[in-house]
Amino acid sequence: MTSKAEIAVEKFLEKTDSEAASFFEACVHCGICAEACQFHLATGDPKYTPTYKLRPMERAYKREKAPFSSLKKMLGLAPKPVTEEELIEWGPLVYDSCNMCARCTLVCPMGIDIAGTISKMRAGYEAAGLAPEGLERSVEFVKKTTSPMGVTIKALSAQIKHQEKATGLKIEVDKQGADYMCTFSSSEIMGYPEVLGAYAKLFDRAGVSWTISSVAYEATNVGVQIGSASLAKEIVTRVVESAEALGVKAVISPECGHAYGAIRFAGPNLMGRQYKFEVVHIIEVIDQLRREGKLPAGKKDARKMTLHDPCQIVRRGGLLKEPRRLLDDSCSNFTEMKYAGKANFCCGGGGGVSANERAEELRTEAFSLKVDQLNGVDGLEAVVVPCANCRSVFEDGLDAYEMDLEVLGLAELVAETLAEPDEKQG
Amino acid sequence: MSFLNFVEGPLFTFAAAVFVLAALWRLIGIIRIGRTKDISPPKGSAAVGFIKGNLRHFIPRGIFAKRTMVHLVGGYGFHLGLFVLVFFGVYHIDFLNERILGFSWPALPRWAFLLTSAIAFSGLIMLWVRRISDPVMRLISDKDDHIGSWLTFLVMLSGCFALEQAHDSLRATHMLLVDIWLIYFPFSRLMHGFTFFLSRGQSGATYGRKGIDL
Amino acid sequence: MLMLAAFAAPIAAQSVRPPGNAVNLDDGIEDGPSNALGDISDTEIWDNFRGGNPRELFAAAPEGQVMTTTGQQWRVVREKLIRKYLGWLPVIVIGLLAVFYLIRGPMKITGGRSGKTIPRFTLSARVAHWFMAGVFIILGLTGLIILLGRVVIAPYLGLEFNSVLASAAMQGHNLFGPVFVFALIWLFIKFVRGNFFQWVDLKWIFKLGGFFGGHVSSRQFNFGEKSWFWMVILGGILISVTGIIMLFPTLVDDVRWLQLSTILHALGAVGLIAVAIGHIYVGTIGMEGSIDSMLKGEVDENWAKEHHDLWYEEVTGKSATAPETTEDAP
């Protein structure tokens, strides 16, 4: 019988490609990454040092796979084998205290991508059945309803009807040959359904056709978060097959962090083939339509606003300028917060942490850094958060710290500040 | 054969051979693990990312400067200092010229050598002192970290002790430590001196391929 | 160990040659000026050369004087006073501490450790401290070898061995000298706050620091620590200035500055080494809980209450003498 530790180690080794290996080989234990990690900064606890979170996987590699490992084993110089107790002890470091935000990579003198390596490590945990319960529950929901929050097509249809009434525009489901097929995050559908109306307004104005699949409306991919390749593949495949059946030109990934990377970069590798359509992020689409002149900007919102940079969209997604261009057009009083842009702090809920009940207290503690950033902008009235997951974490966090601040989505803001159809472009 | 001739001659040749062969073996070993081919349509160039990643991480980011000042001053002071000492110290140039390369280049004047040594020593001591006094560093450091630091320190110290060039025994001590250091290097974390480009490069390539400007 | 072994092995095959930068004094003087000594040779000439009272130390040389004799006096001070007696100072301190330890034992924390800690030194302060400590030890050891090797090492391990050590120590000492200046400035910046003398220090002096019983009050630093700080800073400045003069002799135009520098340098350095031994004693085996402040940056609450009660009250806002209150106290 193979033990849990053996299963995990086997997966660690399988996942240790030359990239992960060179990270393990290059780390000089300088500890500088701790200075970038919000869990360390918020708690001061040394165990939240990013490179320390990788320790069991690093040990497995150095014991079993690294050059000279067999020589060192023979001489009794190899590191100790990884045990199940140790893996359980490390669980909170791998799942609860890593947002996979990659801020540590910025400061690392070796450029080590700890976030990417954590996701490889999670694959080992998932294979050994050591992933946290909260995330496992999401998996159950996904298997039943395709959504980690249990959002059914019935619920979606009700929200669509609502938004059609509010905007007076038709939102067509399963429309063959549309330009775009849009996907959403469950929390958008349930918490911020105005985003459906915003999409309707924007695409109607730009004169492009779009649709929502009745099967593959969910964009989030809990398989990627938890580290399960088979589940991740299942979720991606559903979207890809639906999009190809509808014959759309592109699938739009919503204002959600990991969803974009999951379908844009991980997806083809999981399925073993390229798609017959493009994958674009909603911010890219809106920005492009704006630059093509199809979405002229109108009267700007005069409130003092700032922008939160979702890690997976900005630091790990490369969409740094696009949201800022759109905000400049939509808001007359846009002020950047400290650390804005590439080095912005995560909301604290990324990397599956928000779905992990065990991590709730820690997540709230980490949000204190975001509170400091927000308090650093004088007279702030609203914060634009172009990620549904960040947005719900923000709302919980602002509640916990008793702060009164409006949280907005970017698409909604752009839709609200569009020029009137007869208005000259300003 | 005198002890000095031994540590400068056969032992040095052996140590240098171990250094080169084992380091190559290790580098090739890491590369040979390979990575699965990414078939998602690229948004940018992985090759450019590899180079950019290497260059970008040479320059620290300003926003972290205050929190990581000891590391920046110590790290740059030590590494740049050591590089200059190794390749521009007059006795080092003579040694390389006579034993290995057969050509030489201008050396640092004595005052600059002393100044650079002071900077390099300060840097190394700062880094090690931080290692023993910061809870983060105490948690993540292992024996290899300390051995590497101390061995390097002893090599440098013995080199500085031998500066007068008046006693063969001091020169021999330095060379013996250099030989030990050369042999230890490829099996330890000192290898970061070579693996850094793989690490920076591969994460740079991953980012570059996704069209992310680091 | 390694270093010793390395020294021991090659010593047999030792060959000594002049320093790499030495100049051969014989070069080019075969055809020196003839009749260099002149025709007259009498005591009058030498008296004119001397031109002063040879028994007076560091006598000022009158304008136009050809030769000073302070070198001879410097030699007497160095050989007969400093080399003979100064080295005993650290030995005496160690002896006294040993006696004190045997009689009084380590100072335990009254009531034991509370298990709760409060921060005392920031990371950068700790790094500055250990940086200075490291440089101080290197310079102290090499300095003692240079100063005392001839009388302590040479008679027992041989002139040859001492010569090797002295050469190594000299180079090491010269190279680390400038690093000390940097360490001193850094230490000053990190520790000057809280180290100015206050009224409360007078009480500390009257109670002899509590080393012989009784409770002493103090803020972040007590009188002993403050005195040590200023000794290091002022002594450090003295050593730095005199050291720089010796390292760059052309900075001064009179050889007597160099002679004075070597003597002051030795006095200041050995003095600091002696006090440093006391500092190390109190920081380690002499007083339970002290080492935590520099290793972990945090000290036990009971340690703080006992040794730095006023500081404890400032930092925590709690009374140092009141019994432990419960968490839900207002």
CB contact under 8 A, A32 and B142: no
Domain that holds residue B17: 3-33+45-209
CB contact under 8 A, C15 and B168: yes
Nearest CB among B75, B189, B198 relative to A22 is that of B198
Partners of C3 on chain B (C-beta within 8 Å) are 154, 158, 173
Strands A180-182 and A382-384: unpaired
Asked if A321 and A246 sit in the same domain, the reply is no
- Is C119 an 8 Å CB contact of chain B? no
Question: Can you tell me the distance from the alpha carbon of A338 to that of A344, in angstroms, rounded to the nearest whole number?
Answer: 8
Q: How many domains would you assign to chain A?
A: 3
Question: Can you tell me the distance from the alpha carbon of A95 to that of A140, in angstroms, rounded to the nearest whole number?
Answer: 18
Nearest CB among B130, B166, B172 relative to C10 is that of B172
The confidence band for B213, taking pLDDT boundaries of 50, 70 and 90, is confident
To probe the interface with B, which of A19, A106, A279 has the most B CB atoms within 10 Å?
A: A19
Asked if A253 and A298 sit in the same domain, the reply is no
Asked if A275 and A151 sit in the same domain, the reply is yes
What's the mean per-residue pLDDT of chain C?
77
Tens digits of per-residue pLDDT, A111-160?
999 999 999 999 999 889 888 887 777 788 777 777 787 888 899 999 99
- Residues C142, C144, C146, CA angle at the centre, nearest 5°? 70
Residue A8's nearest CA partner among A42, A56, A50 is A56
Please give the full DSSP string across C88-156, using - where no structure is assigned.
Answer: HHHHHHHHHHHHHHHHH--BPPTT---S-EEE-S-HHHHHHHHHHHHHHHHHHHHHHHHHHIIIIIHHH
Asked if A80 and A12 sit in the same domain, the reply is yes
Please check whether residue C310 is in contact with residue C217, taking contact to mean a CB–CB distance below 8 angstroms: yes
pLDDT of residue C318: 75
CB contact under 8 A, A269 and B40: yes
pLDDT of residue A156: 92
pLDDT greater than 50 at residue C326: no
Question: What part of B 62-91 touches C (C-beta under 8 Å)?
Answer: 69-70
Residue B214: inside a domain: no
Question: Can you tell me the distance from the alpha carbon of B82 to that of B121, in angstroms, rounded to the nearest whole number?
Answer: 9
Calculated CA dihedral for residues A336, A340, A341, A345, nearest 10 degrees:
-140
pLDDT greater than 60 at residue C58: no
Asked if A84 and A174 sit in the same domain, the reply is no
pLDDT of residue C210: 66
**Which of A98, A131, A164 is the C-terminal boundary of a domain?**
A131
Asked if A281 and A152 sit in the same domain, the reply is yes
What percent helix, strand, coil does chain C show, rounded to 5?
A: 65, 5, 35
- Is B168 an 8 Å CB contact of chain A? no
Q: How far is A378 from chain B (nearest CA, A)?
A: 21
Mean pLDDT for C66-87 is 80
Quickly tell me which residue has 């021991």 as its tokens: C8
Residue B78: inside a domain: yes
Residue B39: inside a domain: no
Asked if A75 and A123 sit in the same domain, the reply is yes
CA distances from C135 to A377, C94, C291 (A): 45, 21, 19
**Which of A113, A131, A149 is the C-terminal boundary of a domain?**
A131
Backbone φ, ψ for residue A306 (5° rounding): -135, 170
Asked if A166 and A22 sit in the same domain, the reply is no
Query: Which residue does chain C place closest to B6, by CA atoms?
Result: C10
**Which of A87, A109, A131 is the C-terminal boundary of a domain?**
A131
Residue B40: inside a domain: no
Please check whether residue A129 is in contact with residue A362, taking contact to mean a CB–CB distance below 8 angstroms: no
Asked if A370 and A314 sit in the same domain, the reply is yes
pLDDT of residue C49: 57
pLDDT of residue C9: 43
- The count of other CB atoms within 10 Å of the CB of residue C24 is 7
Greatest mean pLDDT among C6-20, C116-130, C264-278, C302-316:
C264-278
Mean pLDDT for C68-78 is 79
Residue A198 belongs to a domain with what CATH number? Answer: 3.40.50.1860
**% of residues, chain B, pLDDT over 90:** 66
End-to-end CA distance of chain A: 71
Which strands form A250-253's sheet, in the order they lie side by side?
A210-212, A180-182, A250-253, A278-281
Residue B27 belongs to a domain with what CATH number? Answer: 1.20.950.20
pLDDT of residue B184: 96
Residue A111 belongs to a domain with what CATH number? Answer: 1.10.1060
Residue A308's nearest CA partner among A282, A335, A261, A344 is A344
Backbone φ, ψ for residue A212 (5° rounding): -125, 135
CB contact under 8 A, B166 and C16: yes
Residue A421: inside a domain: no
Asked if A67 and A159 sit in the same domain, the reply is no
Residue A191: inside a domain: yes
pLDDT of residue A87: 93
Residue A426: inside a domain: no
Residue A360 belongs to a domain with what CATH number? Answer: 3.40.50
pLDDT of residue A279: 94
Of residues A94 and C51, which shows the higher confidence score? A94
Give B88-157 as a 3 state SS string. HCHHHHHHHHHHHHCCCCCCCCHHHHHHHHHHHHHHHHHHHHHHHHCHHHHHHCCHHHHHHHHHHHHHHH
Asked if A219 and A121 sit in the same domain, the reply is no
Domain that holds residue A346: 294-416
pLDDT of residue C11: 44
Nearest CB among C10, C17, C178 relative to B3 is that of C10
Residue A228: inside a domain: yes
Question: What part of C 19-58 touches B (C-beta under 8 Å)?
Answer: 19-20
Residue B96: inside a domain: yes
Chain B to chain C Cβ contacts (< 8 Å): 115
Tens digits of per-residue pLDDT, A212-239?
999 999 998 888 888 888 889 999 999 9
Q: Which residues pair with A173 in a beta bridge?
A: A212
pLDDT of residue C329: 37
pLDDT of residue C264: 92
Residue B38: inside a domain: no
pLDDT of residue C60: 46
Residues 6+ away with beta carbon under 8 Å from C296 = B135, C117
Residues 6+ away with beta carbon under 8 Å from A220 = A147, A148, A185, A186, A256, A258, A259, A262, A389
pLDDT of residue A114: 94
Question: Can you tell me the distance from the alpha carbon of A26 to that of A51, in angstroms, rounded to the nearest whole number?
Answer: 11
Side chain identity at residue C61, one-letter code? A
Asked if A23 and A76 sit in the same domain, the reply is yes
Ranges of residues in chain A with a pLDDT under 50 are 424-426
Residue B50: inside a domain: yes
Q: How many domains would you assign to chain B?
A: 1
The confidence band for C252, taking pLDDT boundaries of 50, 70 and 90, is confident
Query: Which residue does chain B place closest to C124, by CA atoms?
Result: B70
